């Protein structure tokens, strides 16, 4: 059978619409929570046997999924750069150390000086991929991922999750622009090496998560973020298709076109019809963009809204992959995930 997700990511039209869900492996599944009750989150990422099992869990429940997304985290790179990542209950990711000074940046620059040696700190991720790949059906695509440089940098500067005003990140950017560029360069270099390792281990498509693309003005994004995301995308596209997810990215369509990913993953806030029109004269495929909260809706509304996305995507001139406009939530009803999978498969 053909891998239709890979086909769509390469820009090809497909007979059936491929689909996967961001955070399809995770807290809404009881089998995941059972494992989580026995292990720390960071240890789960670093154990290939556990991470491969979690990666496969949603594919056993929803066997028509077109792809498996690696169970990992976008913050494994800064963890391997010496910031020491942990996950605190009801708070999320926390680093023992944050990036605030030139000395801090110099230290992580030194860590990636010998990049081939450094990336071996993340060899457990490659092992996870190698355990998952043989378990996939012939039609399923192995998806790797990393965080986009700005999103990763924001966590490194804040020292923890931030969803409010990005005070430390924006202060650092505005006061120390040269240092910010140096930080972005380190993350870019590390991300390219990390993704190449994932591809060598068996990933056929990769996604870059720019979750916080709307946190800074578009002009600053163009100057401080686009060049780095473009560099990663261009380098990795030599090896496999690259999906770029832009959270809150409605002001950045011009930047997306400059970045030139294989696939633009559209968040749930955007008008998908307008996005389809905006990118109709490009070679970029699309992914998205159902609001994940619609998985809490009644069947009729869920089917109606999913069908809108499916019809727009099916008629888009390039490839199309159905996905949510963000990830599944912790309390997402499993029955509705199953229903959505059936709606897409029968479309």
Please say if the pLDDT value at position 1 is more than 80. no
Cα-Cα-Cα-Cα dihedral sign, residues 109, 110, 113, 114: negative
Give me the catalytic one of 28, 32, 73, 194. Answer: 73
Q: What is the mean pLDDT of residues 293-301?
A: 97
Contact 245, 262 (CB under 8 A): no
Looking at the DSSP bridge assignments, the partners of residue 323 are 289
Catalytic option among 27, 61, 100, 269: 27
Mean pLDDT of all residues in 314-318? 97
Q: In the chain, what are the domains?
A: 4-346 (3.20.20.210)
Q: Which residue is catalytic, options 28, 32, 71, 155?
A: 155
Give the model's confidence band at 313: pLDDT under 50 very low, under 70 low, under 90 confident, else very high: very high
36 is catalytic: yes
Give catalytic status of residue 23 as yes or no: yes
Sheet strand arrangement including 205-210: 67-69, 141-147, 205-210, 242-246, 263-266, 285-290, 320-324
Q: Which of 49-63, 114-128, 151-165, 185-199 has the lowest mean pLDDT?
A: 151-165
For residues 141-167, average pLDDT = 93
Give residue 341's pLDDT. 98
Q: Which of 36, 61, 100, 182 is catalytic?
A: 36
Q: What is the pLDDT of residues 220-234, one digit of tens each?
A: 999 999 999 999 999
Measured between alpha carbons, how far is 135 from 340 in angstroms, rounded to an integer? 23
pLDDT of amino acid 220: 97
Query: What is the mean predicted confidence (pLDDT) over 104-111?
Result: 97
Cα dist. 118→89, 146, 295 in Å?
30, 16, 41
Give catalytic status of residue 27 as yes or no: yes
Region 95-118: what's the mean pLDDT? 96
Residue in 23, 71, 253, 267 annotated catalytic: 23
Q: Are 325 and 291 in contact (CB under 8 A)?
A: yes
Mean pLDDT of 161-167: 83
155 in catalytic set: yes
Token pair belonging to 76:
């494994």
pLDDT score, position 91: 83
For all residues of the chain together, what is the average pLDDT? 96
| Residue 164: pLDDT band with limits 50, 70, 90 | confident
What is the pLDDT, as a whole number, of residue 42? 96
The pLDDT of residue 274 is 97
> Which tokens belong to 189?
């270099």
Mean of the pLDDT values across residues 128-147? 98
Model confidence pLDDT, tens digit, residues 203-224: 999 999 999 999 999 999 999 9
At 85-102, the pLDDT tens digits run: 999 988 889 999 999 999
pLDDT tens string 24-57: 999 999 999 999 999 999 999 999 999 999 999 9
């Amino acid at each position: 059978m053909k891998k239709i997700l890979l086909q769509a990511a390469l820009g090809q039209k497909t007979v059936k619409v491929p689909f996967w869900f961001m955070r399809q492996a995770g807290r809404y599944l009881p089998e995941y929570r059972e494992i989580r009750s026995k292990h720390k989150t960071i240890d789960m990422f670093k154990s290939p046997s556990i991470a491969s099992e979690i990666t496969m869990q949603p594919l056993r429940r929803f066997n028509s999924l077109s792809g498996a997304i690696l169970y990992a985290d976008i913050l494994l790179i800064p963890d391997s750069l010496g910031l020491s990542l942990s996950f605190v209950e009801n708070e999320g990711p926390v680093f023992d150390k944050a990036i605030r000074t030139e000395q801090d940046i110099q230290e992580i620059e030194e860590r990636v000086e010998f990049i081939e040696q450094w990336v071996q700190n993340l060899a457990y991720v490659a092992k996870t991929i190698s355990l998952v790949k043989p378990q996939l059906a012939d039609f399923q695509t192995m998806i790797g991922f990393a965080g986009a440089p700005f999103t990763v940098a924001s966590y490194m500067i804040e020292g923890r999750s931030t969803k409010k005003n990005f005070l430390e990140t924006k202060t650092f950017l505005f006061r120390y622009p040269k240092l910010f560029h140096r930080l972005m360069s380190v993350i870019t270099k590390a991300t390219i090496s990390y993704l190449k390792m994932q591809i060598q281990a068996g990933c056929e498509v990769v996604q870059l998560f720019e979750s916080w693309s709307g946190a800074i003005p578009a002009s600053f994004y163009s100057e401080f973020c686009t060049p780095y995301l473009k560099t990663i995308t261009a380098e990795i596209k030599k090896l496999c298709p690259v999906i770029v997810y832009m959270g809150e990215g409605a002001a950045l369509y011009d930047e997306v076109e400059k970045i030139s990913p294989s696939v633009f993953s559209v968040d749930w806030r955007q008008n998908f019809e307008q996005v389809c029109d905006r990118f109709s004269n490009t070679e970029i495929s699309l992914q998205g963009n159902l609001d994940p909260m619609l998985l809490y809706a009644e069947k009729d509304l869920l089917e109606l809204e999913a069908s809108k996305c499916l019809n727009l995507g099916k008629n888009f001139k390039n490839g199309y992959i159905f996905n949510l406009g963000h990830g599944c939530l912790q309390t997402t009803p499993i029955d509705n995930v199953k229903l959505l999978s059936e709606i897409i498969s029968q479309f």
